[in-house]
Amino acid sequence: MAERAGTTGPSATPRRIWSIAAIALASLGTTLALQTLLHILRHSDLWGASDSWAVMLRALEVLSGPEAGQLYQTLFSEQRAKFQYPPTSLLPVELLGRARPLDLAYLNGLNVGLFLLNAAALAWLAYGVFRDGTGPLRPGLRGSWAAAFAFLAGIIFYPVTKALLQGQIQIWLDLGFTLAVLAWWLRRHFTAGLLLGLACAIKPQLGLFLLWGLVWRRWNLVAGFLAAALPVGALSVAFYGLANHIAYLEVLSFILRHGEAYATNNSVNGILNRLLLGGPSLAWDEHAFAPYNPYVYAGTILATLGFLLVAVAPAVLRTQREPRPLEFGIAGLCFTMTSPIAWDHHYGIMLPLYVVTLHALLTEAPLRLQGSGLLLLALSWCLSASLLIRLRAIDLPPWNIVQAYVFFSATILLGLMLVLARPGARYGRVNSP
């Protein structure tokens, strides 16, 4: 606390310079994000967007026909459509179809509402954690300002806006994860588990939160997760058959062995595919995956295991008696980065993590770390908040590693969160609700 007592002196000047640089960099990222949003709004057909919806509607057609018991053989293997969702993901879409006939305008209209709800949930989270200000060093950032900035970020953040304008069900996951972080901050662990269990129906990687909860011994989270996941799984098996669920495991195995070389795959698999294959990565092939490469496969497996270890490390090392939103966010980010295919719009979950990490830096971090930490946080935001088309266009190995700038943005954020959560650290605590 003695370190926090003084805000003047020789050491205050470098910190002030770091902070000014961080504000400038964050402002640059926000400006670029606004420009990106305006550009894609002009060149996108929001109501006709079909990235997730087209293949999911095709899957429902197959399930209503004579080949219902061979969903993945028909779509994934024979028609070579990239239907990579589990059968459970079709339940809410089919339920929506019971209310009225499914079409793209209907589904995208729902996405617009969920997009706005996500921004509102971010504002709620930011208002809650910053409602008492940010400590003696910077008391100016209050809850109302933080909420306004968070709402704006939820509107302009490129991974989220891209998901919206492509017709992506990822919007549902973004909202679910934001609400789960909010529930965790409110210490509603059962509710957080419930939300994650529902999200797992669409993105199976989030099922790793069940392992995380077991390691932390957060039985409320485990109970909530199972209370959502088990009934959804049982209904899916009853509706779509056990054979389709077993076949989905084969799809996951195939994706793990191959992955994608396309430039927007922000994962270790994507980076290795582009570096080692050396082929064009700017052309999207809607029917083909990257060819099998044993080195890429080995690197993908090692990266998956590495991120899993990082996710559970705070629990094993017991940096806290109970996991805070910081440790919760570390797990969520790691579980996204473990995937062999992590498109840039999958990183929309970073938004609530920026909120809790910023709060941890401003309220509890030692002064010697605040300036550099804020600059790193701003750099992460600047890299992920907009479409950096000049970096994305660099296709020649080894320079094409910069195509994964969103992955490196997430890596910076993850590293900063790990520093704040390291053993013996007394900072990073989020205010009690």
Confidence label for 190 from pLDDT (cuts 50, 70 and 90): very high
Rounded to an integer, the average pLDDT of 43-66 is: 95
Digit-coded pLDDT (tens) for 126-173: 999 998 655 443 444 678 889 999 999 999 999 999 999 999 999 999
Predicted model pTM: 0.93
- How far, in Å, CA of 274 to CA of 281, rounded? 7
Can you give 175-200 as a three-state secondary structure string? Answer: HHHHHHHHHHHCCCHHHHHHHHHHHH
Look at 13-22, 70-79, 142-151 and tell me which has the smallest mean pLDDT: 13-22
Domain range list for the chain = 40-51+110-420
Q: Which residues neighbour 244 within 8 Å (Cβ) at sequence distance 6 or greater? A: 69, 70, 71, 72, 87
- How far, in Å, CA of 323 to CA of 217, rounded? 10
For the chain, state the CA radius of gyration. Answer: 22
Digit-coded pLDDT (tens) for 309-355: 999 988 887 766 789 999 999 999 999 999 999 999 999 999 999 99
- How far, in Å, CA of 261 to CA of 269, rounded? 8
Look at 160-174, 235-249, 285-299, 317-331 and tell me which has the smallest mean pLDDT: 317-331
Q: For the chain, what's the residue count?
A: 433
- How far, in Å, CA of 272 to CA of 267, rounded? 9
User: Measuring CA to CA, how many Å separate 419 from each of 137, 183, 361, 422, 426?
Assistant: 20, 24, 10, 5, 11
Contact between residue 290 and residue 267 where contact means Cβ atoms under 8 Å apart: no
Contact between residue 360 and residue 428 where contact means Cβ atoms under 8 Å apart: yes
Can you give the chain as a three-state secondary structure string? Answer: CHHHHCCCCCCHHHHHHHHHHHHHHHHHHHHHHHHHHHHHHHCCCHHHCCCCHHHHHHHHHHHCCCCHHHHHHHHHHHCCCCCCCCHHHHHHHHHHHHHCCCCHHHHHHHHHHHHHHHHHHHHHHHHHHHCCCCCCCCCCCCHHHHHHHHHHHHHHCHHHHHHHHHCCCHHHHHHHHHHHHHHHHCCCHHHHHHHHHHHHCCCHHHHHHHHHHHHHCCHHHHHHHHHHHHHHHHHHHHHHCHHHHHHHHHHHHHHHHHCCCCCCECCHHHHHHHHHHCCCCCCCCCCCCCCCCHHHHHHHHHHHHHHHHHHHHHHHHCCCCCCCHHHHHHHHHHHHHCCCCCEHHHHHHHHHHHHHHHHHHHHCCCHHHHHHHHHHHHHHHHHHCCCCHHHHCCCCCCHHHHHHHHHHHHHHHHHHHHHHCCCCCCCCCCCCC
Look at 3-12, 82-91, 188-197, 370-379 and tell me which has the smallest mean pLDDT: 3-12
Token couple for 314: 């705070």
Token couple for 304: 């998956």
- How far, in Å, CA of 354 to CA of 351, rounded? 5
How open is the CA angle 353-357-360, to the nearest 5 degrees?
145
Rounded to an integer, the average pLDDT of 75-104 is: 94
Confidence label for 48 from pLDDT (cuts 50, 70 and 90): very high
Q: Which residues neighbour 368 within 8 Å (Cβ) at sequence distance 6 or greater? A: 3, 11, 15
Confidence label for 108 from pLDDT (cuts 50, 70 and 90): very high
pLDDT over 70 at 424, yes or no: no
